[in-house]
Amino acid sequence: MRELTIIKTKGGKSADAWRKKKSGWRVIRNWFCAWLASRLPGGAKLFLYKKMGVTIGKNVQIMPDIRMEIFFPELLSIGDNVVIGQEAFIACHEFNVHEFRYGKIKIGKNVLIGARAFLLPGITIGDNAIIPANTTIYRDVPANSIAFGSPLQFKKFKAKK
């Protein structure tokens, strides 16, 4: 079960609910940093994501054009030795008709997140997990497993040491 904070809204107004928790200027700053970082190489990219509030471990590779969380980047933690594929989408928030939801995303160590994978709020990805390209993660991924399919399924494997 995803751990989410929920703000109830009137129908069609959930896209404005983040304003109850964040300054508009902070979100604009985060958007600019995320936009710039998505176009820069390694070290500069990681520096900007850290400035936004993302916790990033050692030896992390983030490919170009990912969509990084701009409302609550401080809710994202990325472990050591992680690769995040091109055009992945990492969202610590979601808008629904009658509510705005947000929650932490924790990515463990030695994780591979494929291109165009979509991570929803309130999830944990265990150590040594593999998220293939175009996979939507809407619940926790156990350590030493590959997540795939719709509905989401998991297959355990032995991690190399």
| pLDDT tens for the chain, residues 1 to 161 | 789 999 999 878 888 888 888 999 999 999 999 999 999 887 899 999 999 999 999 999 999 999 999 999 999 999 999 999 999 999 999 998 899 999 999 999 999 999 999 999 999 999 999 999 999 999 999 999 999 988 899 999 886 76
Which candidate, 30, 27, 23, places its Cα nearest to that of 49?
30
Cβ of 148: how many Cβ atoms within 10 Å?
Answer: 14
- pLDDT for 115: 97
- pLDDT for 2: 86
The residue range of the domain holding 21 is 5-156
Give the up-direction half-sphere exposure of residue 18: CA atoms within 13 A in the CB hemisphere.
20
The answer to whether residue 161 is domain-embedded is: no
The answer to whether residue 89 is domain-embedded is: yes
Which candidate, 138, 101, 120, places its Cα nearest to that of 6?
101
The answer to whether residue 13 is domain-embedded is: yes
The answer to whether residue 9 is domain-embedded is: yes
* Terminal Cα-to-Cα distance of the chain (whole angstroms): 30
Report how many domains make up the chain.
Answer: 1
